[in-house]
A and B are shown apart, each in its own frame.
Chain A
Amino acid sequence: MQLDKKLIGHEFKAFDATAEAGKVRLFCKAIGEEDPIYSDEAAAKAAGYKAVPVPPTFLQALTNDDPEKGGLLKALNVDIGLILHGEQHYDYYAPVYVGDTITCQQKVTDMYDKKGGALWFVVSETSMKNKAGKPVAKATSITVVRNPDAAKK
């Protein structure tokens, strides 16, 4: 299979994701985060936050909350077992609090291959805005895909 670079510039359908309190607690349990600001409103306010903030990388739980999940894999026509995460970068512009609904829009910004086409690299950017339309973050991701043909060998 050849990497289909026509996807560069492709924009996926925007969707809304809400930062749910229970999801944030489970996320914190998984990463071993015990700071009460992420679960207790009084603790968050005592620390100077107007509400319960979400951990820095909880943004991934929001971008994963896509009702058409797996759109990139479908567009590439590859199985999820063939992908690895190459890089992830967040630029934070404004806080995200529990209860906030964030509009996420992912766009493919670059694609290239390495090792004679055995590995594909797909760069995407997801803009994240709150209900007021204010950007809260930009998520930049590099997904590495093992070429299905090369992976068979």
Chain B
Amino acid sequence: MVAAPKFDQVKVGDEITPIVLPPISRHQLALYCGGSGDHNPIHVDLDFAKKFGFKDVFAHGMLSMGFLGRLVTSYAPRDRIRKLGTRFTAITWVGDVITLSGKVTAKREEGGEKLIDLEVRCTNQNGQDTLQGHATVAAN
């Protein structure tokens, strides 16, 4: 169980320990279809994906955002997360190996809370960012 970060000990530039994920599988996309309620067939039905001009099915953007949620909750407890947001900057394909990484970009106080701003990202095996996100967590 991760403890809340201590505001005084956190420095801008501190990095979150990266997480390297297993390759994205079709099975995982089927699980996410059910678990998230995002039933867009483009993520699980190859025939449908091809009809709309894609070479294959591809991962839900929100699956990768779920990975960012895992990264942030490896840094601060679930109930300390105040914001999590992302841009989806590239498609994540079946077989891609995604690395999650993040670092502290700012420390500030707002509304009586000591806040830490983070930059977080998903990067594929070619070094291309698939998600460029940000998070804010409350520290002790």
Q: Which residues of A contact B (CB under 8 A)?
A: 23, 26-33, 35, 37, 46-49, 53, 55-57, 60-61, 64-65, 69, 79-92, 95, 140, 151
Contact = CB atoms under 8 A, between A and B. Distances in A.
A56 B87 contact: no
B79 A95 contact: yes
Interface in B70-87: 70, 72-73, 77-79, 81-87
Interface in B21-65: 21-22, 28, 31-32, 34-42, 48-49, 51-53, 60-63, 65
Contacts of A35: 73
Contact of A151 (B22, B40, B53, B84): B53
A18 B72 CA distance: 24
Contacts of B38: 60, 64
Interface residues of B, number: 43
Nearest to A49: B79
Given A30-B66, A33-B66, A47 B1 contact: yes
Nearest to A91: B83
A81 B40 CA distance: 8
A87 B77 contact: no
A51 to B, nearest CB: 11
Contacts of A89: 83-86
Given A55-B78, A57-B69, A92-B83, 14 more contacts: A27-B66, A28-B35, A30-B34, A31-B63, A31-B69, A32-B21, A32-B22, A47-B1, A57-B66, A57-B68, A80-B41, A87-B86, A95-B78, A95-B79
For the complex of A and B, 7 pairs with smallest distance between CB atoms: A89-B85, A64-B37, A31-B66, A27-B35, A81-B52, A30-B31, A85-B61
B48 A30 contact: no
Contact of B88 (A82, A84, A92): A84
Contacts of A87: 85-88
A87 B77 CA distance: 24
Contacts of B70: 31-33, 55
Contact of A85 (B49, B53, B62): B62
B67 interface: yes
Contacts of B28: 30
B122 to A, nearest CB: 12
B101 to A, nearest CB: 16
Contacts of B79: 48-49, 53, 95
B23 to A, nearest CB: 12
